[in-house]
C-alpha cells in the first residue's frame, strides 16, 4: 500500500465513522424477546456451512461452537491479501433465529500495533444484519493465509427448524484500503472475491 498523508487519513477516518454510523440501522443486537424453547423441552441448534472447504478468495460462514439453542459462526476469509476493510450484509429468518452478538475475538482484524479496528454491526430485528469493519492507520491490510475469521457472530434458535439459511445479501465489498466517504473502496480499489457463501441452522427439541 502507498503511504497515506496523516492529516488526510484523519479526515478519511472521520468520514468512515460517519459512513459506518449511517450504515448501521441500529446498534442494538437482536430482535429481543422469546426464543430458545421452553425449559421442559429445550432446543438444540447447530450450524452447517454451505462451503466447509473454502478456496482462495472465498468469504464464507464457518461453524465455531454450539451450546443448547445458541451457536456461533465466523465470517471467514480464505487466502486473501491486504484485507483492510469490509462491508457485508447477511440475512436470516427472524422467526427461527435470533441474532445475539458480534466480536473480533480470535480474528485477523486485530493484528498489528494498533489492535483497535472499527466494527459496527446492526441487526434490524427483521432478519438483516449489516457489518462494517475497518482497520486503522498506522496498521495496514492483513495477508490472510488459509481460512481465518474476520468477525465472529452469535445466534440463538427461536424454534425448531430444518436448514434455516443464514446468507450473504447485497452490499458486499472487501477493500485493501480504507473506504472513502462514499462507502466505496478508496485508492487501491476492491479486492476480488471468489464467492460469498453462507450456511444453514438446524434446530430440534
pTM (2 d.p.) = 0.79
pLDDT digits (tens, 9 = 90+) for 91-119: 999 999 999 999 888 889 888 776 678 88
Question: Which cell is 102 given?
Answer: 458480534
pLDDT band at 17 (very low <50, low <70, confident <90, very high): very low
Which residue is it, cell 476492491? 190
pLDDT digits (tens, 9 = 90+) for 159-182: 999 999 999 998 688 988 766 655
pLDDT digits (tens, 9 = 90+) for 22-69: 544 444 444 444 556 555 679 999 999 999 999 999 999 999 999 999
pLDDT band at 19 (very low <50, low <70, confident <90, very high): very low
pLDDT digits (tens, 9 = 90+) for 139-151: 888 999 999 999 9
Model pLDDT, residue 184: 62
pLDDT band at 13 (very low <50, low <70, confident <90, very high): very low
Which residue is it, cell 422467526? 95
| Nearest one of 27, 68, 5, 36 to 159, comparing CA atoms | 36
Name 120's Cβ contacts closer than 8 Å, sequence gap at least 6.
20, 21, 23, 24, 27, 130, 131, 132, 133
SS3 143: strand
Amino acid at each position: 500500500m502507498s503511504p497515506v498523508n496523516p492529516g488526510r487519513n484523519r479526515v478519511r477516518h472521520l468520514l468512515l465513522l460517519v459512513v459506518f454510523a449511517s450504515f448501521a440501522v441500529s446498534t442494538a443486537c437482536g430482535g429481543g424477546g422469546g426464543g430458545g424453547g421452553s425449559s421442559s423441552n429445550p432446543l438444540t441448534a447447530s450450524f452447517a456451512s454451505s462451503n466447509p472447504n473454502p478456496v482462495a478468495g472465498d468469504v464464507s460462514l464457518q461453524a465455531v461452537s454450539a451450546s443448547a439453542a445458541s451457536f456461533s459462526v465466523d465470517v471467514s476469509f480464505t487466502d486473501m491479501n491486504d484485507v483492510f476493510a469490509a462491508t457485508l450484509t447477511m440475512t436470516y429468518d427472524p422467526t427461527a433465529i435470533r441474532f445475539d452478538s458480534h466480536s473480533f475475538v480470535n480474528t485477523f482484524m486485530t493484528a498489528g500495533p494498533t489492535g483497535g479496528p472499527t466494527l459496527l454491526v446492526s441487526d434490524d430485528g427483521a432478519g438483516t444484519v449489516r457489518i462494517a469493519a475497518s482497520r486503522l492507520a498506522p496498521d495496514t491490510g492483513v495477508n490472510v493465509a488459509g481460512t481465518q475469521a474476520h468477525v465472529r457472530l452469535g445466534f440463538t434458535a427461536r424454534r425448531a427448524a430444518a436448514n434455516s439459511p443464514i446468507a450473504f445479501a447485497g452490499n458486499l465489498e472487501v477493500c485493501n484500503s480504507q473506504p472513502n466517504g462514499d462507502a466505496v473502496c478508496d485508492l487501491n480499489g476492491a479486492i476480488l472475491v471468489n464467492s460469498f457463501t453462507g450456511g444453514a441452522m438446524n434446530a430440534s427439541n
